[in-house]
């Protein structure tokens, strides 16, 4: 019998399975469960976007594209970033299409990290960053984002985390899981530190279209930081296109060239019909974004009000489609809380600890679900809290 354990890469062996998926495997094996766990819009992809994918298939546009993606798509992505966020990139060499933001995170980290390089990671954070840094032999340096600071990254925190080995920082605003955002002045306060220490900023802006009261600002909007910044974004969340698997990177030409080296050998190109759908989304999808946004805002306001009413202290998230209520008043760990809630009330949420130890004391609730489901979930949660 082969001993596979000896044959597996050490980093992979040590990688913990995603705290979200682990939990949902349990939830999916039970009947009658309401899950507010997955970060995926519940809208069917707008028809004109689906039609563009169907048309590509029907007309035989089903072959490999350029490694970097269809030039028409790169052009539309660059038009979109200029139109929406006032940032200008060259579609020929400063933009590449990836298989979701997920591939972008992987190839960016692999392309920049040498063994022992440090990556500053404000946490609680999206589940993929730390494992991919580790797989790329980098070292994660955590910085704790706190509710008191609105889950923003502060200058003093960044200053403390920087060392001679710092290669990059990963930021994600609007944030999964906290819903926190950063504004222009928040970024400006970090600018000299990033510049002086020659740090790359990986800015995951996948929720850029979902800021509720203030317009999204990219750290690349700070003029002197544009060249330091690697923007990651994609079509999954903004257009409800998670299964199409289209994302992109915007960055300086020498960096894109390196990212594309890994991409061309591992991926070749993103799915061709999906790229055609993405062209349609970027070109004619602004109205769809607005409709979904209005619905998300209504759900956010409802769920925050209700959570506070039933006794879970919840700050108002300024972006994305997650709320991050504190469960500290229950004296349970977030894992215990979610396990008991699932067991007693058939309601699945994600423990804050799935987003790093700094997420302990919180649970993440996705409101990318219908108001009806959210209402039922609140009823179950209220009964659960009363039973404690």
Ligand X SMILES: Cc1ncc(COP(=O)(O)O)c(C=O)c1O
Nearest distance, CB of residue 33 and ligand X, angstroms? 20
Exposed e or buried b per residue across 120-143, where buried means at least 16 C-beta atoms within 10 angstroms of its C-beta = bbbbbbbbbbbbbbbbbebbbbbb
Nearest distance, CB of residue 126 and ligand X, angstroms? 4
Per DSSP, the three-state class of 245 is coil
Q: Which is nearer to ligand X, 324 or 384 (CB)?
A: 324
Nearest distance, CB of residue 236 and ligand X, angstroms? 3
The residues binding ligand X (CB under 6 A) are 39, 100-102, 126, 172, 176, 204, 206, 234, 236, 242, 247
The C-alpha R_g of the chain, in whole angstroms, comes to 21
Query: DSSP character for 362?
Result: B
Per DSSP, the three-state class of 283 is helix
Neighbours of 187 (CB within 10 A): 24
Q: Output the DSSP codes for 76-143.
A: HHHHHHHHHH-----TTTSEEEESHHHHHHHHHHHHHPPTT-EEEEEES--TTHHHHHHHTT-EEEEE
Nearest distance, CB of residue 259 and ligand X, angstroms? 15
Query: Residue number with the shortest CB distance to ligand X?
Result: 100
Q: Are 355 and 42 in contact (CB under 8 A)?
A: no
Q: Which is nearer to ligand X, 35 or 345 (CB)?
A: 35
Nearest distance, CB of residue 5 and ligand X, angstroms? 30
Q: Which is nearer to ligand X, 285 or 306 (CB)?
A: 285
Q: Which is nearer to ligand X, 105 or 378 (CB)?
A: 105
Q: Output the DSSP codes for 204-228.
A: E-TTTT-BSSS----GGGSGGGGGG
Rounded Cα–Cα distance for residues 354 and 387 (Å)? 25
Nearest distance, CB of residue 310 and ligand X, angstroms? 26
Q: Which is nearer to ligand X, 211 or 306 (CB)?
A: 211
Rounded Cα–Cα distance for residues 259 and 249 (Å)? 9
Nearest distance, CB of residue 220 and ligand X, angstroms? 17
Nearest distance, CB of residue 248 and ligand X, angstroms? 9
Chain-centre distance for alpha carbon 310:
29
Rounded Cα–Cα distance for residues 128 and 47 (Å)? 31
Nearest distance, CB of residue 364 and ligand X, angstroms? 11
Q: Which is nearer to ligand X, 138 or 345 (CB)?
A: 138
Rounded Cα–Cα distance for residues 195 and 205 (Å)? 21
Q: Which is nearer to ligand X, 46 or 306 (CB)?
A: 46
| Residues 71, 76, 77, 82, CA torsion sign | positive
Q: Which is nearer to ligand X, 46 or 378 (CB)?
A: 46
Q: Which is nearer to ligand X, 89 or 126 (CB)?
A: 126
């Amino acid at each position: 019998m082969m001993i596979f354990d000896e044959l597996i890469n050490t980093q992979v062996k040590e990688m913990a399975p995603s705290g979200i998926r682990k939990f949902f495997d349990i939830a999916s094996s039970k009947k009658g469960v309401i899950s507010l766990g997955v970060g995926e819009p519940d809208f069917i992809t707008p028809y004109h976007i689906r039609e563009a994918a169907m048309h590509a298939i029907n007309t035989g546009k089903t072959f490999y594209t350029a490694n970097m993606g269809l030039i028409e798509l790169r052009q539309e992505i660059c038009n979109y970033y200029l139109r929406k966020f006032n940032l200008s990139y060259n579609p020929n060499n400063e933009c590449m299409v990836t298989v979701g933001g997920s591939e972008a995170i992987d190839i960016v980290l692999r392309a920049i990290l040498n063994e022992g390089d440090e990556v500053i990671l404000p946490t609680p954070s999206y589940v993929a960053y730390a494992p991919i840094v580790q797989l790329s032999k980098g070292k994660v340096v955590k910085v704790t984002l706190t509710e008191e600071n609105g889950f923003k990254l502060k200058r003093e925190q960044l200053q403390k985390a920087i060392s001679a080995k710092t290669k990059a920082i990963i930021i994600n605003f609007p944030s999964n899981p906290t819903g926190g955002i950063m504004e222009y002045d928040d970024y400006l306060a970090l600018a000299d530190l990033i510049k002086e220490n020659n740090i790359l900023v990986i800015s995951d802006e996948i929720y850029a279209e979902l800021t509720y009261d203030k317009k999204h600002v990219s750290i690349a909007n700070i003029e002197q930081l544009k060249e330091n910044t690697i923007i990651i974004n994609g079509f999954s969340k903004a257009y409800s296109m998670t299964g199409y698997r289209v994302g992109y990177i915007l960055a300086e030409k020498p960096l894109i060239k390196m990212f594309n080296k890994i991409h061309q050998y591992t991926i070749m190109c993103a799915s061709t019909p999906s790229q055609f759908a993405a062209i349609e989304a970027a070109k004619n999808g602004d109205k769809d974004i607005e409709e979904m946004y209005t619905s998300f805002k209504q759900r956010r306001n409802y769920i925050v009000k209700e959570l506070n009413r039933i006794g879970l202290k919840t700050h108002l998230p300024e972006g994305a489609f997650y709320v991050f209520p504190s469960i500290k008043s229950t004296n349970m760990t977030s894992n215990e809380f979610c396990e008991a809630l699932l067991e007693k009330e058939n309601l699945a949420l994600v423990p804050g600890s799935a987003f790093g130890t700094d997420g302990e004391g919180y649970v993440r609730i996705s409101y990318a679900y219908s108001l009806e489901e959210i209402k039922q979930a609140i009823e179950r949660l209220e009964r659960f809290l009363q039973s404690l």
